[in-house]
Each structure stands twice: as C-alpha cells, then as structure tokens.
Chains A and B, each alone.
Chain A
Amino acid sequence: MQVSNAIKFIILTEIVFPTLLLVFGIYHGVMQVLYRAGVIKAESFLGIDYYQGLTLHGVINVIVFTTIFIVGFSNAIVMYALKKPLREKVQWIALGMMVIGTMMAAWAMFTGRATVLYTFYPPLIAHWTFYLGAVLLVLGSLVPFFFDWIPSAIEWKRENPDQKLPLAVFGTFVNFILWTIMIVPVAVEILFQLLPLSLGLVDEINPLLARTLFWFFGHPVVYFWLLPAYVALYTILPKIVSEKGKLYSDPAARLAFILFLIFSLPVGLHHQFTDPGITNTWKLIHALFTFGVALPSMITAFTVAASLEYSVKAEHPELKNSKFYWWTFLPYMRLEGNKWMFSYFFAGLVLFFFGGITGIVNASYNVNLVVHNTAYVPGHFHTTVGGLVLLVFFAMALYMVSKLRGTEVKFKGLAVLAPYFWMQGMFMFSYAMMVGGVITGFPRRTNTGLTYLNPDSPLYRPEWVGYAQLSVVGGVLLGIGFLFFFISLMATLFAPKVRESVVEFPFAEAYHDAPAPMLNNLKTWTVATIILAVLSYIPPLYDASVRGVFFKSPAYIEKYPMPLKQLQGSEKNTQEKELSKAEKEVAQR
C-alpha cells in the first residue's frame, strides 16, 4: 500500500526517533552493570550519576521508546489491514505532542532535575517539566486511536458489514482500549498529586495513594508493550516461517486478546504485596486475577507453537508425521526474503518462556516476600519487555524502515546475529540477577559498586561478587547485540532506494476460523473491563487514602535528607545572613 510523503515521514520518525533515544537507554543499561559490579566505583560517570542514568534507562526504554514505537507500528498495521489512508493532520498533532513531551521530560532528566526513576517515587519530587512532558507524551499517543483509527474502522465496518475486524486491528484496538483506561489513574496521580506538589501549589501529598494509583497503571502498561508483539506473533510470524504459513486459530487469538483486556487491570496490587496500609485480602484477590492474566499467555504459547508446526509442515509435506523433528526446519538463521526476521521472534519467544514462569513467581503472593525488590525482579522483566517485546519491535523497526524507505535490509548477517547475542546476553544477565536475588538478597536499583561490592568498604558483601560479574558479561553481550541491530538499521535507513516506498505486512490467514460474534463485541467487553477494574480498586484505594495512612508527606529531592520547603527556607536564611554580613562589612569600612 502506497503512502503520502507526510505519512511516510511521520511513521519513519515514530520508529527512528525513539530508537535513537534508545541508544542512551541501552548505554545506561550497560553502565548499570558496570557500576553495580564495581567496575566503575563512582557516584557518576561522564557527568551523569548512577540514579540519573537509571532514571534515563527506565523512562527512555519503557515509556518513551515503547509508546512512540507502538504508535508508529499500530499506525502502519491499522492503515494496511483496513486499507485506509491515515489522516495527516491528526498524525502531525500526535507526533508533535509526543516529541515535545519527550523533549520536556528528557531535559529534566538530563539536567538532573528528575532523578525519581521510572516509578516516580513520591514524596521524592521532580521538576514539573518531567511530569507535564510525560502527560503530553501519553495523551499524544491516544490521539491517533480516537481521531484516526476508530473513524476508519467505523467506515470499514460500514463497507464490510458481514466481516469481523481484521485480527491485527482487533488486537491493536484491544491494546489501545486498555491503554486509555490505564492512563486515567496515572493521570490523576500526576495532575492532582505530583504536578501541584512540584509547582508548590500544595505542601503535602499521600505517597501510598500515589503508589496505588501508579501501579493501577504500572502493571497493565506491560501488556500495552506486549500486545503489539502478540499482534505480530499471531498475524505476521507464520508467514515469515513459510510462504504457506497460517495462524492456527483465529478465535483462540481473539480470546487471548479479550482475556488480556479483562484481567490486565485488576492486578496492580501484586506490585504492592509488601506495602503497608492495604488489607491483604485485596492483595490476594489481585494475585488471583494475575494468575488469570497468565492464561492468555499460555493460550498464546499453544497457538504460536501450533502455527509454527502448521507453517513448517505446509512447506515440508514429508514432515507430516513428525512430532518434534519439524522444529529443526525452522529458519533460525536464514537471509532470504523475510526469513531473517524469524531469529528475532525465536530469541524473543525463548526469553519470554522464562519471563512468563518467573512472572508467576512474582505474582505468587507470599512467595513474593523472597524476591520483592531483589535483583530477581529486573532479572524477570528483562526477559519479557527486554526479551520478546524489544526483539519483535527491533524486527518490525528494521522491516518497516526498509519498506517505507524502499531499500534493502543492509548488513542482514549482523541483523540476524543481533537477537542471538541479545538472547545469550540476557540469559547471563537474568540468571545472575535472579539467582543472586533469590539466594543472597542482592538488591535492585542500588549503586552497589560503591559499598557492597567495594572490597575497601566496611559494607563489603563478597557473596554478591560472582553474580555482579556475570551480569557484566551479560550486559556487554546485550550492548553488542544492540550495536549489530543499530548498524543494520542505520545502513538500511540511508541505503539507496531500490523500490517504491510502501507500507505492507506479510499477514497470515487463519487455519481454523469461526465468526465468534461474542468475542468480537468489543464495546461490551470494554464496559465489563471498566466495571471489574473499578470494583477491584475501590477497597485498596479506600485503604490507601483513609484507613492505612495517618498523615501526608512533604516533597523531598534525592540529594538532601530534609523536606524541600525546609531546604529552600534554610537556603534563604543563609543567603540573608550572608547578605547582612556583607552589609555590615561594607558599613564597617
């Protein structure tokens, strides 16, 4: 499908701009392991301190990169699946909001005015541009959904009254419905708590309430990252494996998306199992729903494996009766056509297998006491968002850039190797973090190189050394994997044009298909989702705002152990004192 120059520019920007920022994100990821192992024993390196770098790593990788890339990818998916051009004005506004928002937040982070990490951590407070930038970014990401895709889908439905929405669009819509709902609580947190506190309009806020509102957003958001990858797994992967590839079951895919919609929201308390001030009955109920959200991933595991088997056997009829031997015929490392993308999907799926299992450990209520806030947790989520999600996004980024620019994928060999370096690096990194976390309590988000892993420090903990060193090896391999991908992406972007610029995807048809009208009724499921989310959050929000909290807290910044107001007051006092001293001196002369 051909695209106008403006749309081409917009989608390319939505892929390349966040990937360029990701260079900083991944650089700070590699720096993390170096600091933590004590290879760099310092508060800061090249002008950026550890916790500032950690903030950049978190915010760029999982807020900025994911959000903007998902909008670009979904733009292309919806446009191609519905065969409807995008509305240029709407897209310019969305891109503008996202880029300006990102720039505001980036300024605050790079100048050290927002060292509050990805989860915000009130009563630590950042410069107001950080919060306003985040709000602009997420609101901008909603603009295409409401003002472009929904109107296009309504038109499409009018033209095709008997057909169900294409699976790729269905998945994308479920994802953005979820995204819209989850933004409400975090917007309430930012607009009514953090922004007023940052601007000095209020003196105190309730940090437990802020946490609860954040995690109302903070867990569903992982499904916002994951679902675009699932869309690709269901609709694109079978066609990459083989020209004759098919998705095993269309209704099963839709069932998985609907289950994600319903169960993604009432689960946030599993990030707060160890928080005081919230009754543990509600935590147990959220744990149950978290197990519910594991179900669609298990369905996906089944459907993806079945689709792979169908697709391989369609191309190799002689494998018809093989139970396991067909696995050896997958295009693990092939360069022709679109087959190079399989390496990304495969490495991602292998990592995600471990990500899913370790996620169930995190969700397991009392088992969580052993792993909460140890290095186990980053060990887990680097195999999910840093595994399947990121690798599928990389494959799609490279593929879409070559289609949109009309160029060949350059350095294909490097591009095919990149996900395997990434997978191996992630295995080492995650193994070190998880085992270190569970067995020895190695903490996360801590500049351990200065204290616990510094042999000269009285706080030295030799039992952590091995794990930290293994995570360095993993981190370096991850950096190399990214570099390979990045070289290929940049070369493809600037390669000479050999074809017309297009947007297209190798969409696979379904092997099993059925109309399934119940599953396709998105409106009803949305209402049900909102009701369940609200009901599951009324009791914990009541606990966090009334029962469990005795008083509110003033704002702090990370550098001083006293409230910001008091700090500014004492600064003023010393300034006045110095001023009067100077005046006296002048008078004495």
Chain B
Amino acid sequence: MSHDGKSVSRRGLLKNAGAAGTVGLVGLAGCSEGGDGDGDGDGDGGGGGGDGGDDYPALGNYPIDGDTATFGFNVPKSGPYSSEGEDELRAYELAVEHLNNGGGWVDEFEDLSGEGVLDYEIDFVEGDTATDASAADESASRMVQRDDVIMFSGGSSSAVAIAQQGVAQREKVLFMCCLTHSNDTTGKDCVRYSFREMFNAYMTGQALTPVVTEEYGDDLDFYQLYADYSWGQTQQASMKQFFEEAGWNEVDSVATPLDTSDFSSYLSEAQSSGADVLFLNHYGLDGANSLTDAVDAGIDEDMEIVMPLYNRPMAEAASGAIDGIYGTIAWDSQIDNEPSNQFAEVFGEEYDGRSPSGPAQLAYAQTLQYAAAAERAGTFYPPEVIRELEDYDYDNIGMGEETMRACDHQAQRAIPVVRGLPESEQEGGNFFEIVDITSRDDVGYGCDEGPAAECELGEYGDE
C-alpha cells in the first residue's frame, strides 16, 4: 500500500490513489475524498494542457483539488515587526491580483500569463505569526493542513522563518522566505523546501564594512547591541568578524530581548564604554525604538551609530533620528531601474500613493518567482518546482543580475547601502540616500565557506 517506501500523508495517499485509480484504496476511502481525488486527477491533466499533472505521485499538498491553487501568507500582524508584516501583506495581495488578472511584473515575466498559474486561479489565506516562532509554526501548520496551500510565504524575524522552514520540509510544501536576514536561514538551518531572496547578515557585513570604515576612519573601537535571537546573534557575529578584519576592535556586545520598548539602560552602558561607534543590531519597532532612544540620549554626538539592517517602516517610525545613519536595506523604491520603478508605480496606484518598502518588494518578488517556476516546471509538483528555482538566473526584480544558488538556496545579489536623510529632507516617502549598490561580485561566499558550509538542504521528497 505504501508508495516506494516514501513518507506520504493519508491525504496525499488518497489523492494519489484517486489519480492512479488504485481500486482498493478508493473503495476504502468510501465517504471521504476518494471520489473527489479521482475527478481531480483527470481534470488536472486535461485542464493543464498536457502539463503532466498525472505523471507525479502525490506529495505534500500536490496534486491540487479543484481549479484553485491556494497560497498561504503568514506575516506578523502583531508584535514588534507588525508594520513590516502589513506592508508584506499589501504586496502579497497585489501579487495574487496580478497573477490572476495581469499587471505589474506579471506582464514582464515571460513565464507568467496573467491568467492564473498553470490554468489554476490563485487564492490565498492569511495567518498571523505574531513575530513569534510558536505562533508562526501553528499558523503555518493550519495553512498546510486545513487550507491545503501549495506554497506559503511570509517573514520578518528569522526565528519565525526557521520555524516555518521546518514545517515546509516536514510537510513537503514549499516556503518562500520573505524578510529573514539571519545567516542560519540558509546556513545551519537551511532546508530544501525553502528559498531566500533576501541577503544575510554575513553579506551585510561585507557590504557595509568598506563604506563605513572609509567614512569614519581606521582603528576604531565599536560596541554592539543585538536582538537576542537567531538574526541578532548572527548579525552581531558577522559585524564583529568583518569589522575586526578591517582593523576595528570590539569593546563589548550586549544582547537585548526581542520586543524591548526601552533601551536606555543598555544605551547608557554603551555610552560609557568609551567606544567610538555603536552598532544597533535591532529591527522593526525595536530598531526604531533603540535608535530613537540613542538619539534622545545624545549618543549620536559622542559616537557614530550604525544600523546594519533597516527599512522604510523603521525609518518612518524613527524619523529625524535616522539622520546620517548608515545601514543596508533589502530594496528601495529610489533604486532606478525598470522593474523597481514599475513595482513602485503599481503599488502606489493600488494603495493611495504609498511607497512600497523593501519587505514588500521581497514579498511580491517571491510570490511571482514561485509562480514562474511552477510555469516553467509545468506542474506544481514540489520537487520539480524546486529544481526550476535552483541555480536560476534572473534580472527582473529590480536588483540587477541575480542567481538563486542551488547549494544553499541563497540568492546571490547586490546589496544597497544607504544613509538616513535629515528630517528636513525626508519628503515624498524618501528617507535615505543610496550611497552604494554593492555589486554581487563584492559580497557573498562559496558553497563551502561562511554560513553555507553548515548547510545541508535535505531531501526533495521524490528520491
């Protein structure tokens, strides 16, 4: 009764049985899904225009029942990263709208038609990760089990992304990372069933070090505060590694709990440490709070502040405090090229002239990348979609030439380094000036070094 000794769920087995017409099982299924599965197996083959839907065994939530494919968008709607989550959700909704009806990048991607994906209409369900790994895990598992999503995506907080990667690999349902910047996501916790477009802390270190050391000088002492979870820890380690290689010296580094609202006690210790530069490895509302607290305490007068990772919602919340602060961002609407301008334009049209943030661009790009890969593969069968995404070269999402590397599922891409604008110049949704777009040739690491050395992707599921 088992299929080649592989681990398949009951649901999968039944669908498979339906498609293959295994009489015994269908008979057993009786009042359950057996009958449905049968119809869908055939419908899939016909409707997909010879997409070979019948050729693959059931795996995860493949094949899809009916003529609607469901995506799951699991974003933080509460917790310190909730404003990033809201912006991601806007972009996800826009992506689904474009996949079904055309528009935006869908018209430019040669693989996409604007009439659904593989003749399936795209629908979606939402979940709240609450910026917390356990909540994300539960909500992802609901999407996979109950809503039968064929792909889920979401982000902000690497602990959350890593927890969801676990669900993805176990359930054999693809997860497309949105914002997650920890080295571990595509390092020691990497999985076959997840892809990351976002760069990581290691690459931020590589991009930021030349710019910052040139601006502030050599042989300085620095002090770090970092968020005490996967991202903050690897962020802190990478900053230490690259700045010490560049000749700077770390005085101390202190962990702060996620969801801290008052950083003043941590900051006063930093202030009295005698260091020249302060790295604030915080993100989201935590980042906005720590930066604002630092500026309020007058730290920016004695020390230089660097915010290794920031974004538009954070800058909006911190407003004047970001003046002159260096950092890296996922993407910005000021980056002047065809896809970037187009995305900023369609996003603005849909949401009252609002400028999309970096996380929004990631959310939009990742959804479309998945859809395009499924079109290229001619099926939603996850191992085939994964193989289409691996080592895929593209330059259509506004960050120049990129490769989705097969060895660790980490995109090799350029990184924008920015400096915050003073409050008086923050107009029209512009909060930073782009100092440099560090080419992908100057950042990154081989498959056997850095975080990738610890990565073992695991099974495709069809071995």
- A and B, one complex? no
Residue numbers of A with Cβ under 8 A of B are: none
Interface residues of B (CB under 8 A from A): none
